[in-house]
Amino acid sequence: MYNLLKGKRGIIFGALDENSIAWKTAERVHEEGGTFVLTNAPIAMRMGTIDVLAQKTGSQIIPADATSLEDLENLVDQAVEILGGKIDFVLHSIGMSVNVRKNINYTDNKYDFTQKGWDVSAVSFHKVMQVLYKKDAMSEWGSIIALTYMAAQRVFPDYNDMADNKAYLESIARSFGYFFGKDKKVRVNTISQSPTATTAGQGVKGFSGFIAYADKMSPLGNATAGECADYVVTMFSDLTKKVTLQNLYHDGGFSNMGVSQEVMEAFERGLEEEN
């Protein structure tokens, strides 16, 4: 290890179980010398095993609904007190779509479900940053990261309204990132990760087929949750102090591909079988 985060303090949102990117990130941050508090919604905490992660990393857990300003204010106040100073890094790894969970087609979305997913997946990022900004809780040259997916730019039909949520999330990162950078010298970025076999990701219809397709399309193959955690650590470190307002693709090259030879060959084999 490199002690990249020695002496740095942070908040990690969204660790559910050992498959989640937030979980892997917490482990890597701990290995690199960082300290942090863990947080998730109370209902998510009952579904996961966050206590195991807290024990492993010597971290405290602060339950918080990321859509509640009151909860977030309490979270930030407690985090600063527990960690003994201002926050150096924040990971927002939160996403949810009721329409996806209930297998409701995008063209038939239920708008109360849409609003709930939008609030949890995207607006919560604005709320997190607003609380941090107003409380002046971030250290200079701190780093705030949210996880996203390239369905914000391209059509993946079964990703449903989560695509809209991610597009809004990325816009928030740029817009709030301007003010955080200008006023507080804090950087804000999103990381657009490969499809990853997390508990949440596997809830998307056709996920297993798509993850195989993306792997064949990407020159370097899909990025794993652990590899994403490594990337997040570099973005939290002082090595990336002037990177802000960016949507950073961490996808093995998928985002710049039209088609790969492997995918073309598989398509041609399928045509031959049909004929």
Active-site annotation, residues: 149, 159
Q: What is the pLDDT along the chain (275 residues), one digit of tens a residue?
A: 899 999 999 999 999 999 999 999 999 999 999 999 999 998 878 777 999 999 999 999 999 999 999 999 999 999 999 999 999 999 999 999 999 999 999 999 999 999 999 999 999 999 999 999 999 999 999 999 999 999 999 999 999 999 999 999 999 999 999 999 999 999 999 999 999 987 666 666 677 888 999 999 999 999 999 999 999 999 999 999 999 999 999 999 999 999 999 999 988 998 888 77
Supply the pLDDT for residue 199: 67
What single DSSP character describes residue 32?
T
**Tokens 């024990």 correspond to what residue?**
55
Instruction: Provide the 8-state DSSP code for 41.
Output: -
| Domains of the chain, earliest start first | 9-274 (3.40.50.720)
- Residues at the binding site for NAD(+) are 14, 20-21, 94, 166
Q: What is the pLDDT of residue 79?
A: 98
Which residues, 6+ apart, have CB-to-CB distance to 70 below 8 Å?
Answer: none
**Residues belonging to the chain:** 275
**Which of 151, 138, 149, 228 lies closest to 177 in space, CA to CA?**
138
